[in-house]
Chains A and B, each alone.
Chain A
Amino acid sequence: MSYDRSHTGAWREKELSLRQVMEKYPEVSPFVIIKTDAQRRGVEYADRALAAVDPDIHLTKVRSDYSNKEDLTPVSLMMRDGTSICTSVDVGGNTSSGRDPYLVDVVDGKVVLVDENRVIEEVSYWEKPDFHEKETSRGTPMWHVVSVRPQRLCIHPHQHCDYWKTPGHGCKFCAMSAVYHSGNKPELLDVRDIVESVAEAIKEPGRNVNIFLTGGTLCGGENFLDDEVNYYEEILGGITKLFGGRRFPSQLISTAFSFEQLRRLYDNTGLTSYTADIEVLNKDLFAWICPGKAATIGYDEWKERLCRAVEIFGKGNVNTGLVVGVEFATPNGFENEDEALESILAEADELSSCGVGVVGCVWHVSPVSIFKKQISPGLEYYVRLAKGFDRIRRKYGINVDMDNYRRCGNHPDTDLGRI
């Protein structure tokens, strides 16, 4: 590995260390702080850690929107408190924003995260579900169709994104198109394959608590986005039959649909919660970073559609995700963390006042994205923002059940809602 593992790695001198952040924010779960940093910097595996992987037990293969791997590295990690660390080895090589990743190693018989030769915390590998090696009636491996987190089934029906098909419209942090073109994935999954795989997966007792769908935008149709709505309606309709036509714990992250499109999805399927990711809470930065979304829907309309979605799904069942850190991308991003926090939390407060939750994803700079040379912010910023989102949700009584540590596991701020 070519990372600077010395104690004097230049980046370490520019930001608070993990230990310093934990000491400065003693009221924030140290598990959540460690998770945040591991997601930010990424991980790599020592030989001993790889030797501890049992591919019959642990999850090593994954095919999803941003991943496509069959090697024997673990897909990701779990902490002692049940917190998931959603990190994986990048397609195209590890960047970690120029920071050295955590090392996963085995010390005293335990799998642990190590940084600067110090054991940080014990972790374990995600386990494989029963259905993983099975095939659909069409002969499609089910793991090609449904990827998993420890307690969630993830379906990515459209594995490319129409925004990438218009030059200059792809989101600048996004790796979806590059991952799609680097592999052998079909652009669209077969609906029967999806429903059969879900039917098999939900037989496993005590494993899954949520069914999650997301994929790239499909712009076409009679009305803009109708193709995407119709596709999800067909898939969700098939899955809903598996639950006797009743609602079931589920989340769709899609492009921001119109009220009528969402109403149709809600009325015709058992979907329970809805997310449309605005990615960055700043109008100018949205236009720069998410040009396709800005050109076709627009910032204000995106927010308006989120607020109206609450009328359909109810408070606590609608949220929007941010790629936290892209707001500092140069040359147009914020230059000052305090200013960024104030501005973003003010907009999050406004959205939450109409019942829309705001959740953050830690920006792990993808080496195959347009932003591949950008640097994500320091750990302390992530902790401050997570605290802010948690405080705002409590202020407006928005619970995080739809996107919490079990149903998703990707958001440090919703982890804070466990207590």
Chain B
Amino acid sequence: MGVLLSVLNEDFGQILADPETIAALATTGSDGSVHVAFKGSFCLREDGNLEYDEVIEASQTNKNLVYSIWFGKTVSISFLAKDHRSFLVIGRPVRALVSGREFREHYVAIRGRLGDVDLSTVWIIEPVSVCEQSFEKRRTEEENAHPLFRHLDRLAVSGSGL
């Protein structure tokens, strides 16, 4: 997984660690509805997986993550860095830590950061694909890949005399 994330050619961990980075987690549940929520607690683990602290046990996100790990579904996480670069990670929840030493470390840490909150689950998400989605990068990539997808007025040569 480390390889997957290193293709970003960026210190993705730093972007994740930056409190100004915005993360939107999109999940689906048993009824097929998509649920998107902004989340503030993604980290990159040493093994290249992502980890995410879910505070609210009965949240739709948590239910959908359970649904995903049960039935092998993927989730999408969009990250928007403060310099406006954005990244999309498609991942598969592979573990839900709900107790034990590692859970306790997260529990103590999140309460240190946020005060009197609880912690439901530390979700471990294995990236299955990663791409940079920054506007300029994506626009250039797509125009190169699909040169026919453009309006002609953009191509017309001005001052041709006709």
Contact = CB atoms under 8 A, between A and B. Distances in A.
A29 B70 contact: yes
A30 B70 CA distance: 6
A170 B159 CA distance: 101
Contacts of A78: 99-100
A342 to B, nearest CB: 26
Interface of A: prevailing SS: loop
B69 A151 contact: no
B108 A206 contact: yes
Nearest to B64: A419
Q: How large is the interface on B (under 10, 10 to 19, 20 to 34, 35 or more residues)?
A: 20 to 34
Q: How large is the interface on A (under 10, 10 to 19, 20 to 34, 35 or more residues)?
A: 20 to 34
A127 interface: yes
B105 to A, nearest CB: 9
Interface string A18-40: 00000000000111100000000
B3 to A, nearest CB: 19
B70 A206 contact: no
A101 to B, nearest CB: 24
| Centre residue among A151, A205, A419 by max chain B CB count within 10 A | A419
A418 interface: yes
Contacts of B101: 57, 127
A150 interface: yes
A80 B95 contact: yes
Nearest to A122: B95
A339 to B, nearest CB: 30
Interface string A72-83: 000000101110
A207 B97 CA distance: 12
A205 B108 CA distance: 7
Nearest to B93: A81
B107 A205 contact: yes
A352 B51 CA distance: 39
A419 B63 contact: yes
| Centre residue among A30, A57, A207, A418 by max chain B CB count within 10 A | A418
Contact of B100 (A29, A30, A127, A406): A127
25 contacts: A29-B70, A29-B71, A31-B70, A32-B70, A78-B99, A78-B100, A80-B94, A81-B69, A82-B96, A82-B98, A82-B121, A127-B99, A127-B100, A127-B101, A150-B98, A150-B100, A151-B99, A205-B104, A205-B107, A205-B111, A206-B99, A206-B107, A419-B29, A419-B30, A419-B64
Given A80-B96, A205-B107, 16 more contacts: A31-B69, A78-B99, A80-B69, A80-B95, A81-B95, A82-B96, A82-B121, A124-B100, A127-B99, A127-B100, A150-B99, A205-B111, A206-B107, A206-B108, A419-B63, A419-B70
